[in-house]
Amino acid sequence: MPRLQQGVSLKPYNTFGIDVTSDWWYEIGKEADLLQLLSDNPVPRLPILVLGGGSNILFTQDFEGLVLKNNIPGIDVQEEGEDHVVLRVGSGVIWHDLVEFSLEKGWGGLENLSLIPGTVGAAPIQNIGAYGAELKDIFVSLEAIHLGTLSKQSFSLSDCRFGYRDSVFKREAKGKFMITNVSLRLSKNPVLNLSYGAIKQELEKLGITTPSVMDVGHTVMAIRNSKLPNPKQIGNAGSFFKNPVIPETAFSPLLSAYPQMPHFIQEDGIKIPAGWLIETAGWKGKSFNNCGVYPKQALVLVNYDGASGKDIIHLAHAIQESVFSIFGITLELEVNIH
Ligand code: FAD
Ligand code: NAP
């Protein structure tokens, strides 16, 4: 039976390893727990934070409210056809457990999204993406409970208004809902996307010419393990900033000044890797007050040992100012600040 707890340390529950406390804490194992808690207790008047794996959050102060730790389980086949399957997944399921489940079955759609930390319920919040795949490519719908009215709502693909690391849940609906389950459509005849990053080269190195979804998943895992800090060893929340997409008019003079600048043409402008901007501005590998810029990937800020959230946000602001003064580009934060 879940229990309302007071004064809980959030250090083990955020991948930056920031040592803050939440006034109240409650673990949600099923939808009914949430409905019962919020209808029986005076706590709904407090600010509420739904927490998954804490892998996209930076706490800069104690949380004066109620943290709902999401543990809602379950992976069920909702619909099955000759060429596809629709899974209904509990929002507390660990994202990579779902990926492994689909790889075992040989179902395609999640392989490029292997090894992203966190829960299924947080995946729609920023439309998680990696190696040319995004959640929206396989998304069918989700169910959520409004934290004020306790009404249940269903969101279709268009309702979620997914964008680049963006959705309605980072905008008008921010903080208003707890997502309880997500339905995803996977393919039984997958078309693999190998065009991105080092996937093709890695497969070639292994001598794999006709890869399975499992091969692609394992390749993505190997690349990620070689490049990214493991939060169990070094605190971090992955990419701290979004990659900026700038208009052609701003891009042309920059490319003349920096002909080696990597760039990718998008529908709405030109994407410049934020990691390249930060590295070129001289920040890669630098450390300050127990936090710093990861030496292998400048887009990742790290907590080496006991940094506070304020130390890390201070470093992030210094990087933003420096990149703006050199390139005239504003880096937007990807990580959620609390
Ligand atoms: P949390 O950090 O717990 O929460 C994030 C936000 O979502 C918060 O605002 C929270 O309130 C809200 N939220 C969480 N669950 C729910 C819910 N059920 N209902 C409503 N709101 C909710 N991201 C990518 O997109 N691509 C990557 O390749 C990637 N790589 C990463 C690598 C590393 C090493 C790390 C540490 C992070 C990486 N991330 C990446 C970021 C992160 O893993 C994802 O954003 C992930 O979806 C966050 O899940 P979480 O459960 O940890 O969310
Ligand atoms: P990378 O392969 O070194 O590439 C650097 C950047 O260039 C990436 O951010 C990527 O943008 C962009 N890019 C590369 N090839 C591209 C292509 N063919 N078309 C369009 N854009 C391209 O990146 P990395 O740091 O090792 O990360 C690999 C993938 O994992 C990326 O997709 C990245 O987003 C994802 N990742 C995300 C996080 C996170 O916390 N959000 C953390 C680690 C890794 P995109 O980022 O837009 O894909």
Confidence of residue 222 (pLDDT cuts 50, 70, 90): very high
**Ligand 1 mean position to 81 CA, how many Å?**
31
Judge whether 158 counts as a catalytic residue: no
- Give the closest residue (by CA) to ligand 2 atom 30: 130
- Give the closest residue (by CA) to ligand 2 atom 2: 197
Max CA pair span of the chain: 63
Measure the CA–CA gap between 239 and 261, rounded to whole angstroms: 19
> Of the residues 20, 55, 162, which should be mutated to test ligand 1's pocket, given the most ligand atoms within 8 Å of the CB?
55
Residue 1's pLDDT is what?
58
Q: Which amino acid is present at 156?
A: S
Burial of 317 (0-12, 13-18, 19+ CB in 10 A): exposed
- Among positive and negative, which fits the CA dihedral 276, 278, 282, 283? negative
Residue 42's pLDDT is what?
54
Residues 55, 173, 126: CA angle, nearest 5 degrees: 35
Confidence of residue 28 (pLDDT cuts 50, 70, 90): very high
Question: Is ligand 1 within 6 A of the CB of residue 120?
Answer: no
Among 6-20, 38-52, 235-249, the minimum mean pLDDT is found in: 38-52
Question: Is ligand 2 within 6 A of the CB of residue 261?
Answer: no
Judge whether 334 counts as a catalytic residue: yes
Question: Is ligand 2 within 6 A of the CB of residue 239?
Answer: yes
- Give the closest residue (by CA) to ligand 1 atom 44: 56
**Ligand 2 mean position to 47 CA, how many Å?**
34
* Residue 268, pLDDT above cutoff 80: yes
The answer to whether 182 and 160 have CB atoms below 8 angstroms apart is no
Residue 249's pLDDT is what?
94
* Residue 2, pLDDT above cutoff 70: no
* Residue 3, pLDDT above cutoff 90: no
Among candidate residues 24, 32, 19, 29, the one with its CA nearest the CA of residue 4 = 24
Q: Which residues 6+ apart lie within 8 Å of 116 measured at CB? A: 95, 96, 99, 123, 128, 130, 238
* Residue 319, pLDDT above cutoff 60: yes
Average pLDDT of the chain to the nearest whole number: 95
Ligand nearest to the CA of 122: 1
Q: What is the pLDDT of residues 164-205, one digit of tens each?
A: 999 999 999 999 999 999 999 999 999 999 988 789 999 998
Question: Is ligand 2 within 6 A of the CB of residue 145?
Answer: no
Residue 46's pLDDT is what?
85
Measure the CA–CA gap between 273 and 85, rounded to whole angstroms: 35
**Ligand 1 mean position to 238 CA, how many Å?**
9
> Of the residues 196, 268, 293, 296, which should be mutated to test ligand 2's pocket, given the most ligand atoms within 8 Å of the CB?
196
Judge whether 165 counts as a catalytic residue: yes
Question: Is ligand 1 within 6 A of the CB of residue 109?
Answer: no
Q: Which residue has the higher pLDDT, 197 or 293?
A: 293
Options 165, 183, 185, 202, the catalytic residue: 165
Question: Is ligand 2 within 6 A of the CB of residue 197?
Answer: yes
131-136: Cβ within 8 A, 24+ apart: 131/193, 131/196, 131/197, 131/199, 131/220, 132/193, 132/195, 132/196, 132/197, 133/109, 133/193, 134/162, 135/162, 136/160, 136/162
State pTM to two decimals: 0.96
* Residue 210, pLDDT above cutoff 80: yes
- At 288 the three-state DSSP class reads strand
Structure tokens at 244: 């900026």
Fill in the DSSP letter of residue 204: H
Question: Is ligand 1 within 6 A of the CB of residue 117?
Answer: yes
Give the position, in ligand 1's atom list, of the atom nearest the Cα of 51: 3
Among 21-35, 41-55, 141-155, 288-302, the minimum mean pLDDT is found in: 41-55
- Give the closest residue (by CA) to ligand 2 atom 32: 130
Q: Which residue has the higher pLDDT, 38 or 81?
A: 81
Fill in the DSSP letter of residue 30: S
Give the position, in ligand 2's atom list, of the atom nearest the Cα of 196: 18
- Give the closest residue (by CA) to ligand 2 atom 1: 197
* Residue 44, pLDDT above cutoff 60: no
Mean pLDDT value of segment 308-335: 97
- Give the closest residue (by CA) to ligand 2 atom 18: 196
Give the rounded distance of the alpha carbon of 149 from its chain centre: 27
Distances (CA, A) of 7 to 33, 255, 310: 20, 52, 21
